[in-house]
Structure 1
Amino acid sequence: MNMHSSAPLGVLVRVWPKLSETFILEEILGLERRGLALRLYALDAPTDDVTHDAVARVRSPVARVPSGHTLREMLARHASLAVSEPIGYLQSLGQALRRGQGGWRDFLRAGWLAAQLRRDGVGHLHVHFINGPTDIAQLASRMSGIPFSISAHAKDIYLSRPADLRRKLNAARFTVTCTEANRATLAAIAPRAAIRLMYHGVDREVFHPSRRTGPQEQDAPLIVAVGRLRAKKGLDTLLEACRLLHQRGKRVRCEIVGYGEEHDALADHILRTGLAGHVHLAGKLARDQVLERYSRATVFVQPSRIAADGDRDGIPNVLLEAMAMGLPVVATRVSGIPELVRDGVNGLLVEPDAPLALANGIERLLQSPELAAAFGRRARATVAKAFDNDANLRTLMQLLEPSHVCGTHCDLLEAAR
């Protein structure tokens, strides 16, 4: 795709909008600011009952990819593709059939998407998540002749089979991923594929230290954590750390923002350990409400772990947001987090599943406001230097230029396809 041409860029996501995927929202807003014409395609309807206010600023049209209820229209679109791109169509059909029933469902949806990409004049398709959405994108690309690229993140990498990852990485024009740990993992699986590190960025004007008010004088210091309530987030470790702090006589409060399958277990944990008056599960909140929590916080905690099934965080966007606000942070040495947080420089790092170490880190920051403030200033500087949304989007825009994608690697990429 030539970024100077008028052909719009297609962006495929599983759900639009989605409360927990602010990194996609920020990317789309950033690309629009650069004047790119976008077409958004979503596989599923939104399920969140709240949305971020910033979603209203997105100007690009959104199309939902149907899942089969419009069978007559799907068949018409497939027939058109079979006539106009017979080789690519048959290759896609063969690939889908080898994947079984799930492949057949993806094939139907991919045909609808391929025809829509052509109708919309899309020159390139960029897809978020290397699992299910990329399965559909790869089929649609082969059917339509429109190249595609991938943005790979966390769960979609570590819960996928290496053979499936290799197939998609080699078929894509390029892949970007949000941590060096991810990039190294993917490069080991598909050494010939074009894989680039592209950190997520945040809007430094929205997440700014000037918004911080801190707790009211009569309030206890506030610990904040934000994220889906899943095992990989390690929030039970934070609860245990809070229990230890109260056992030591430390007067602290904790708010956990998010939703998910661990909610009831965490709520039970809070009741069993006598933390009901001190720890609050805040549930789903829009971005302005999350900002308000950051503004009142004393410490931000990211207690991530590698879950039993291998799922893990990359670099959580909420950690970037908190650091951009100038908050001191305590986080765990998991996946890409040490690429952002340097222990003793711009925050504290502890081992995962270590509530005593986490409690000690939090207490250290509470007892030394000067150290906490210094970490907060350096945290803000780190985000400004390496995790600015506009700067990181330049990487994507360069990769969308064919000369940056291919160069001396064109033969390898064509062979991989």
Structure 2
Amino acid sequence: MLPSKTARRIAVVVKGYPRLSETFIAQEVLALEQRGLNLEIWSLRHPTERAVHPMHKAIKAPVAYLPEYLYEEPLRVLRGAVWSLRQKGFAATIRAFWRDLKRDFSANRVRRLGQAFVMAREMPAEVRHLHVHYLHTPASVVRYAALLTGRSWTFSAHAKDIWTTPDWEKREKMAEALWGVTCTAQGAAHLQSLSRPEQVTLVYHGLDLSRFPAAPESRLLRDGSDPLDPVRIVSVGRAVAKKGYGDLIRALAALPQDLHWRFAHVGSGELLNALKAQAKDAGIADRVAFLGSKAQPDIIALLREADLFVLPSKEAKSGDRDGLPNVIMEAASQGLAIIATDFAGIPEFIRSDVEGHLVPPGDWEALSNALNMLVRDPERRKALGSAAFARLRRDFSMEGGIDILEARLRAAIDSPAREPERV
């Protein structure tokens, strides 16, 4: 017997929960929950950060954690496998898994099947639909679980998952999903080229401005001439290759000696120690502060006190790249002047010399010149910050995207359940 409409739920599947670097997911979950959708969260990994965003505390959806590594919970995995063996969709699931494994022979692939066994067994009957964030490993788990149980599924693709997942895998997953959304025009065009164009829709995350204080009415007109009151430069992002922080350290080190500035970085990441060493070797360690991970209120306070926001994103050697980083919109929410790279989804929001200043990705000299120019010109910073805030409020509010997701997810849970594919 099918559950009643009022009891029908949607499982939102994520790679890790909660994560400070994924406020866009928390914002979406909270907004959909506030609109009356009945959600639960399934995570492939346990949290690794102590700080928690206020939005995570406001979300009421229950959270379930899958075994991060199968050997850590062998009985749970075994129960899932035995249960799955008896399901109508088992043969179809194994066929899909075997095709995947032949092209990607890895322990990671086996782990996703084991996680899918556990999810399929433990997921309540009231869950009618699965919506997964990221088209790479989380979508593999959801795809296998959907094949096992006959549930429908959809996806939100973002950045790394688009650009580092093989085309064959993206094609096959998108062919089985009801639909998908992604957060940049560049990403949407790429995914549409691999599927039916109507299969993937551009939906910007946008920003819920009700969560942010009003932009400061004015900022001090620092111009880098006073050693006792240096210009404050800030960036927020993980210390990973695609964020380009090595280029930023080189750019800062090349600034003229008569320019007085301080730089603060917020975020954790694998390259953090290397960046600290680079700043020390460049002789600017006394001007640079690496603050580690911070909760959202602390980040907003830092943005409000800053004069300039910088994010030098670029493509990593692995192919990983940003989408449209939410933190750029968060900086705009505080009327902060922005320097970024003309790369990925960034120019979809920031038009160079209109809402900010864009430089070529990987060009530290151009970045240094842009910093030098804007540090010395507080009036120009004020104009750019005001324009970025106006564009954010006019074209990148959260509501439009949530309207689309709400309508599509409600249609998904109201559609008839499908029978799992038999042999």
TM-score, scaled relative to structure 1: 0.90
Q: Deviations over 1:339-364 (max 9, x none)?
A: 01001111111111222222222233
Letter in 2 for 1:224: V
Q: Deviations over 1:249-303 (max 9, x none)?
A: 1111111111111112211111111101211111111111111110111010111
Matched-pair contact (CA < 8 Å) for 2:159–2:320 = yes
Unaligned runs of 5+ in 1: 407-417
1:244 corresponds to: 254
Q: Deviations over 1:109-160 (max 9, x none)?
A: 212212333x251121110111111000001011111111111111111111
Compute the displacement of 1:401 (Å).
4.2
Whole-angstrom distance in 2 between the partners of 1:343 and 1:114 = 48
Whole-angstrom distance in 1 between the partners of 2:76 and 2:338 = 52
Letter in 1 for 2:193: A
1:198 corresponds to: 203
1:91 corresponds to: 92
Evaluate the alpha carbon distance shift between residue 405 and residue 197 of structure 1 in structure 2; reply closer, same or farther with a 3 A threshold: farther
Evaluate the alpha carbon distance shift between residue 167 and residue 212 of structure 1 in structure 2; reply closer, same or farther with a 3 A threshold: farther
Mapping 1:204-215, distance limit 5 Å: 204-210=209-215, 214=219
Unaligned runs of 5+ in 2: 102-106, 223-227, 416-423
1:287 corresponds to: 296
Whole-angstrom distance in 2 between the partners of 1:368 and 1:165 = 46
Compute the displacement of 1:48 (Å).
1.4
The percent identity for this pair of structures is 32
Moved more, 25-34 or 190-199: 190-199
Mapping 1:174-323, distance limit 5 Å: 174-191=179-196, 194-210=199-215, 214=219, 218-245=228-255, 247-323=256-332
1:124 corresponds to: 129
Letter in 2 for 1:107: L
Evaluate the alpha carbon distance shift between residue 76 and residue 238 of structure 1 in structure 2; reply closer, same or farther with a 3 A threshold: closer
2:142 corresponds to: 137
Letter in 2 for 1:174: W
Per the alignment, in what secondary structure is the counterpart of residue 239 of structure 2?
Answer: coil
2:168 corresponds to: 163
Moved more, 233-242 or 335-344: 233-242
Letter in 1 for 2:203: M
1:44 corresponds to: 45
1:107 corresponds to: 113
Whole-angstrom distance in 1 between the partners of 2:147 and 2:330 = 38
Per the alignment, in what secondary structure is the counterpart of residue 124 of structure 1?
Answer: strand
Letter in 2 for 1:112: V
Whole-angstrom distance in 1 between the partners of 2:184 and 2:4 = 25
Evaluate the alpha carbon distance shift between residue 224 and residue 38 of structure 1 in structure 2; reply closer, same or farther with a 3 A threshold: same
Evaluate the alpha carbon distance shift between residue 252 and residue 102 of structure 1 in structure 2; reply closer, same or farther with a 3 A threshold: closer
1:173 corresponds to: 178
Whole-angstrom distance in 1 between the partners of 2:297 and 2:338 = 20
Compute the displacement of 1:309 (Å).
1.8
Letter in 2 for 1:185: H
Evaluate the alpha carbon distance shift between residue 139 and residue 262 of structure 1 in structure 2; reply closer, same or farther with a 3 A threshold: same
Matched-pair contact (CA < 8 Å) for 2:5–2:414 = no
Matched-pair contact (CA < 8 Å) for 1:224–1:294 = yes
Matched-pair contact (CA < 8 Å) for 1:96–1:106 = no
Moved more, 213-222 or 307-316: 213-222
1:409 corresponds to: none
RMSD between superposed Cα atoms in Å = 2.7
Per the alignment, in what secondary structure is the counterpart of residue 311 of structure 1?
Answer: coil
1:387 to 387, 396, 418: 396
Whole-angstrom distance in 2 between the partners of 1:103 and 1:265 = 31
Letter in 1 for 2:196: P
Q: Deviations over 1:3-59 (max 9, x none)?
A: 975411110011111121111111111111212111111111111132223321111
Matched-pair contact (CA < 8 Å) for 1:209–1:325 = yes
Per the alignment, in what secondary structure is the counterpart of residue 99 of structure 1?
Answer: helix
Whole-angstrom distance in 2 between the partners of 1:163 and 1:70 = 31
Compute the displacement of 1:184 (Å).
0.8
Compute the displacement of 1:403 (Å).
8.4
Q: Does 1:146 align with 2:155?
A: no
Matched-pair contact (CA < 8 Å) for 1:3–1:400 = no
Matched-pair contact (CA < 8 Å) for 2:130–2:151 = yes
Per the alignment, in what secondary structure is the counterpart of residue 21 of structure 1?
Answer: helix
Mapping 1:39-78, distance limit 5 Å: 39-66=40-67, 67-68=69-70, 69-78=72-81
Compute the displacement of 1:376 (Å).
1.2
Evaluate the alpha carbon distance shift between residue 115 and residue 286 of structure 1 in structure 2; reply closer, same or farther with a 3 A threshold: same
Letter in 2 for 1:106: R
Whole-angstrom distance in 1 between the partners of 2:357 and 2:413 = 38
Q: Does 1:340 align with 2:340?
A: no
Matched-pair contact (CA < 8 Å) for 1:52–1:287 = yes
Report the number of matched residues.
Answer: 404
Whole-angstrom distance in 1 between the partners of 2:364 and 2:340 = 12
Matched-pair contact (CA < 8 Å) for 1:97–1:104 = no
Compute the displacement of 1:365 (Å).
2.5
